Amino acid sequence: MAFVIKKKAVFNYQSPVAMYHDNKSVNKTIMGLLDYQRDMLEEYMKKYDSKNIAIELPTGSGKTLVGLVIGEYRRRKEHEKVVFLCPTNQLVKQVVEHANNKYGIKAIAFCGKQSDYSEKDKSDFLRAESIGVTTYSSLFAQYTFFSDVDIIIMDDVHSSEEYIIDNWTLNINKKDGLFLPLADFFRKYVGEIDYKKLLGTDEEEQTESWCNIVPSALLSSDLNTLESIIDASIGGTNYSNIYTWKRIRENLKECNIYIQKGGIQIRPWIAPTMTHPPFARAKQKILMSATLGKSGELERVTGISKITKLPIVNEWDKKGVGRKFFIIPRLSLGKDSEADVLLALHKITGKSVVLTPNDRVKSTVNEIVSNFSSKTKIYSVKNIEENKQEFIDSENAMVILANRFDGIDFPDDESRLLIIIALPKVVNIQEKFLVSRMGGTVLYSERIRTRIVQAVGRCTRNTRDYSVVCILGSTIIKDLIEPNKLAKYAPELRAEIEFGIENSSEYKEIQDIETQVRSFLSNDEEWQGAETVIVDKRNEFSEQRDKDIRILEKLEESSILEVQFQYAMWKKNYKEAFENISKIISILSMQALNGYRSYWNYIGGTIAYYLVEEGNFEYKSIGLKMFQEVLKDNISVKWITVLEQKLFEVDENEVIDDYVGEILPQLEKILQEYPTKNKLEKHISIILENLTDESDNNGKKFEKGHEELGKVLGYISKNINTDGSPDPYWIIADMCFVSEDKIYKSEKEIPINDAREVATHKKWIQQNEPLITKNTRIYTVFISNSERLDSDAKHIVEDIYYLNYTIFLDWAKRALDTIRTIHTTFVEEGDYEWRKIACTELRKNGITPLNYQKLISQKKLIDLCD
């Protein structure tokens, strides 16, 4: 063959815009850049030499094209190796397909094992002849192929945290061989109750929301044992954990250990990405994000402390992508209507996308749809990743995706119906802990809002696109309907949501929804009037400013120090880490940030103890003070008192716990189910009706009301209804209230048979309830309208308490009134300020678990014989 002679490429373009305009590739179908894309590229050129640049472009606005054009410009002009990162392999393939066949930019997909990479592809990338596209996990792998890149373009960085932090995270579930050895090791540090919850042997739905942290300082002297346990059992877990363990083993002491039902997570606060040489050495990192945020989210997600930020241009922040018609059936038709609404809407559109929080809900939806129509073909995420075209070509199809609220798009006619079921507000145990135990929801307010925006935009991907968005479940309703929350969305999206709320609140039957959906999809005259209303609302909202901007500014200021803290910790420089913590605590001085400040006081006390261990005894008093601040600020982490006593040798004082901190997280879950006052009032009315129904011949209604009362007050409340089982029983932490309910039709004494029945309840609970431990205090109470006991029963009821029906009912009414009161100010889980109000009301009205324990302990059943 003849010699291959390549002429030196001449590159005379002064900007990416000029380069793309002159691109004559036959594969190029997107011929020009839009105005706002050109403007953003011009802004980028002004910061061309910056080390870290974040570019804000909303979902559906073509940020991938902007990122690829920048990468191509630098590759050709500077001869730099450019790698473009995506969260998933499916997105890698999508970006490469668009780059080559729409934008005329040569890009190569690097998916799967390195050993399977084509030699030619590797050569083209290493010689900077093509952009490489791969996943975040591929770049952050210990032995990555991309060990010497110049430019890193991070797409969808706003939703990339899990893909980044996973490389420094051990996730251990019940199926892992490591789970039981670790659970047994943690048992002495977390106590019997949390140990039982961690094992997850109970089937109680209420324990699904439980989580906690294993205090790192308590493990300090036993770290070698913990390391040995992990070393011995890590082979029984998944491969990713093996590689992660190698990475974090030397920094186990600097990690947090979180536990939840059936799961353990070991991870640093923030991914120390700059300790990964390929990432740290890159000449420039470009962060492509749907939102820059104002609270330091990009810094926490990426582990980068200094980022040059380029915000949205041309007022794109006021406009949206496509048109969304929101339907929230629960606001008027109640939760029992949701399955029928799902089926009715799918019948209209023929194709739909359903997003679920987990596989359990996915299976439930699958079953409902399959039972309704065997002709509907159901697709999973795997089906879509392998062959999306089959779904697109189907006339009657539904794709059900579990825990995939972003990353897979269905533009235009691919689907006109998006159904979102119980969108999770937190996605890992660290977030769950900060929200439920520390009252730190404020930290994640922007992140949660971004997740909602990303989720609702799966089926509207361009300005001409449109879809129905149906919200089922209760998890995010408050984030959509509460005025202060709603005001923080972009004006166009806010207008769409508000229009949806106004209509969803007025539905009388499912046919009302069907009529509106048909009008929307056909774009008829009726909808044209609605369109005008939405646009008018958008224009009205455009001038409003975020009222919480000061809080966000403080969080952003803190984020830079948090990143610096993380790198100091990873170097085991505890003094520098402590200095950063002190500055963080000083910044988080606003009352709304108290919950988040509590977390940093806890970490500060822990690091102070590490310093004392090293002989720096001057840190003892400040460490103790930090733990005391947690107790003062936060009511859901009472175990801090144990740290005071064991770490800093504080005298053990008797602390009277009223258990409010235990019930508040569960109370929040319950109140979340009732987004409006009317919904809660309806439920309370049913409880009271059951407790007072005089036609209740067998006592079943009273028992149902008793059980539901316990649930609405935040207890784990059960009524098993098997032979020998008690009537409703309530569990909170290490207390259990077991009842026998006997409301007699006439004035009579309590017969000996009923006394014998209640006398066996304690033993039944000990033998049958998985959440009961040897330390659980069990109070058995006989609730009745009778005030006399058969004297022959005296010898079998010595340990049984008695509560008169009238007294119980008065207390129940007062308790439900208190729930009404605290519901009026409830917005979301983990709101520190609301928790303070709720705590005050519960204590003032005598509704705490300790109050109830004292109420039922005032009189014993045996006293009725006197």
Lowest mean pLDDT, pick from 337-341, 458-462, 605-609, 798-802: 458-462
How confident is the model at residue 477, as a pLDDT? 86
Taking the C-alpha atoms of residue 368 and residue 373, their distance in angstroms, rounded to an integer, is 9
C-alpha closest to that of 75 among 114, 38, 107: 107
Q: State pLDDT tens for residues 378-434.
A: 998 888 877 788 999 999 999 998 887 776 788 889 999 999 998 888 889 999 999
Decide if 9 is inside a domain.
Answer: no
Kind plus residue range of the DSSP H or E element containing 585: helix 574-587
Please indicate, yes or no, if residue 281 is contained in any of the structural domains.
yes
CB atoms within 10 A of CB 508: 8
d(C-alpha 376, C-alpha 361), whole Å: 18
Q: Are 521 and 578 part of one and the same domain? A: no
**Contacts for 710 with CB less than 8 Å, ≥ 6 apart:** 716, 717, 728, 730
Tokens at 840, concatenated = 């005050």
pLDDT of residue 237: 62
Whether 547 shows a pLDDT value over 70: the answer reads: no
Of 525, 541, 557, which residue sits at a domain end?
541
List the structure tokens of 215: 């205090």
Average pLDDT over residues 491-511: 93
Determine how many CB atoms are found less than 10 A away from the CB of residue 369: 21
Q: Can you give the pLDDT at residue 338?
A: 92
CATH of the domain at 723: 3.40.91
Mean pLDDT, all residues of the chain: 90
Flag whether pLDDT at 511 surpasses 70: yes
Same domain, 357 and 468: yes
| Number of domains within the chain | 5
Q: Strand 377-379 vs strand 397-402: parallel, antiparallel, or unpaired? A: parallel
Is pLDDT at 90 greater than 70 in this prediction? yes
Q: Residue 337 and residue 513: Cα distance in Å, rounded?
A: 12
Give me the mean pLDDT over the 104-111 stretch.
95
Q: Is 317 part of a structural domain of the chain? A: no
Confidence at 545, pLDDT banded by 50, 70, 90:
low
Name the band, by pLDDT with cuts 50, 70 and 90, for residue 241.
confident
In the predicted model, is pLDDT for residue 845 greater than 90?
Answer: yes
Is 93 among the domain residues? Answer: yes
pLDDT digits (tens, 9 = 90+) for 577-612: 999 999 999 999 999 899 999 999 999 999 999 999
Question: By C-alpha distance, which of 495, 494, 498, 516 is closest to 507?
Answer: 516
- Which of 541, 572, 598 finishes a domain? 541
Together in a domain, 196 and 282:
no
More reliable by pLDDT, 540 or 509? 509
In this structure, the answer to whether residues 452 and 479 fall within a common structural domain is yes
Higher local confidence (pLDDT), 38 or 649: 38
**Listed range (223-227, 719-723, 862-866) with the worst mean pLDDT:** 862-866
- What confidence tens digit (pLDDT) does each residue in 443-459 have? 888 888 888 888 888 88
Give me the pLDDT at residue 506, please: 94
Domain contains 63: yes
Q: What CATH code is carried by the domain that includes residue 420?
A: 3.40.50.300
The model's pLDDT over 199-229, given as tens digits with 9 standing for 90+, comes to 988 777 778 889 999 999 999 989 999 999 9
Lowest-confidence segment of 153-157, 490-494, 511-515 by average pLDDT: 490-494
Residue range 340-366: mean pLDDT, rounded: 92
For residue range 667-694, list pLDDT tens digits in order: 999 998 898 888 899 999 999 999 998 7
Residue 318 falls within a domain, yes or no?
no
- Looking at the fold, whether 171 and 159 belong to one and the same domain comes out as no
Q: How confident is the model at residue 127 (pLDDT cuts 50, 70, 90)?
A: very high
Do 93 and 32 share a domain, yes or no?
yes
Residue at which a domain ends, from 541, 574, 590: 541
| Angle, helices 429-436/594-613, rounded to nearest 10 degrees | 110
Q: Is the pLDDT of residue 28 over 80?
A: no
Q: Is residue 239 part of a domain?
A: yes
Model confidence band, residue 318 (pLDDT cutoffs 50, 70, 90): low
Query: Is the predicted pLDDT of residue 309 greater than 60, yes or no?
Result: yes
pLDDT band at 705 (very low <50, low <70, confident <90, very high): very high
The DSSP bridge partners found for residue 730 are 717, 737
Residue 843 vs residues 383, 598, 660: alpha-carbon distances, Å = 54, 22, 8
Sorted by sequence, the CB contacts under 8 Å of residue 635 that are 6+ apart come out as 660, 661, 664, 835, 839
Quickly count: other Cβ atoms within 10 Å of residue 632's Cβ: 11
685 vs 27 pLDDT, higher one: 685
Tell me what pLDDT residue 7 has: 65
Q: Which residue has the higher pLDDT, 610 or 59?
A: 610
261 and 132 part of one domain: no
- For residue 230, the SS3 value is helix
Domain carrying residue 358: 326-541
Q: What is the pLDDT at residue 655?
A: 61
The 3-class SS string of 450-476 reads: HHHHHHHCCCCCCCCCEEEEEEECCCC
Say yes or no to pLDDT of 187 above 90: yes
Q: Are residues 507 and 570 in the same domain?
A: no
Are residues 402 and 514 both part of a single domain? yes
Whether the predicted pLDDT of 488 surpasses 90: no
User: Would 829 be classed as within a structural domain?
Assistant: yes
Same domain as 695, residue 779: yes
User: Within a 10 A sphere around the Cβ of 756, how many other Cβ atoms?
Assistant: 12
| pLDDT attached to residue 650 | 67
Q: Where are the alpha helices (DSSP H) in 102-157?
A: 119-126, 136-139
504 and 465 inside one domain: yes
333 and 199, same domain (yes or no): no
Greater model confidence, 385 or 334: 334
Question: For 745-751, which contacts have Cβ atoms below 8 Å and span 24 or more sequence positions?
Answer: 745/697, 747/786, 748/786, 748/788, 749/786, 749/788, 749/789, 749/790, 749/864, 750/782, 750/784, 750/786, 750/788, 750/789, 750/790, 750/793, 750/861, 750/864, 751/790, 751/793
**Nearest to residue 442, comparing CAs of 289, 549, 552, 574?**
552
- 3-class secondary structure, 686: helix
Percentage of the chain modeled with pLDDT above 90 = 62
* For residue 509, pLDDT beyond 80: yes
